[in-house]
Amino acid sequence: MAKAIAEEMGLTQLQAKEIVQRVLHGIVETLVTAGRIELRNFGIFEVRRRKPRKARNPRTGDKVKVPAKLVVTFKPGREMEERVGRLKHVPGRDGAAVDNHAP
């Protein structure tokens, strides 16, 4: 991503990388302080509480209690949803076709 930004904006890759890192850091800081950040035409990151639950250790089969915790969720924006929805193959995954009839 930094390489593409550098070429498009006439910056060095190092400058573009620093800009990308600052943007990502800003997203994390906003989540930590405000709990939510909306990036227009991209999506919404939000901190949510996951309820405690019972799970199973896959190695032993024993039941374990998983405590409540805070997680980051992402809801893609309309433009992203539409563009990804038009894809016929998963990019970078050997061109695997998408089965739109799967449950």
Q: What is this structure's pTM?
A: 0.76
CA dist 75 and 66 (Å) reads 24
CA dist 103 and 100 (Å) reads 8
In which band, very low, low, confident or very high, does the pLDDT at 8 lie, cut at 50, 70 and 90?
Answer: very high
65, 80, 97, 103 from 91: Cα distances, Å? 37, 15, 10, 21
In which band, very low, low, confident or very high, does the pLDDT at 93 lie, cut at 50, 70 and 90?
Answer: confident
Cβ neighbours of residue 52 under 8 Å, at least 6 residues apart?
65, 66, 67, 68
Cβ neighbours of residue 39 under 8 Å, at least 6 residues apart?
27, 45, 77
- C-beta separation of 70 from 52 below 8 A: no
pLDDT digits 0-9 by tens, 59-90: 999 999 999 999 999 999 999 999 999 999 98
pLDDT digits 0-9 by tens, 18-41: 999 999 999 999 999 999 999 998
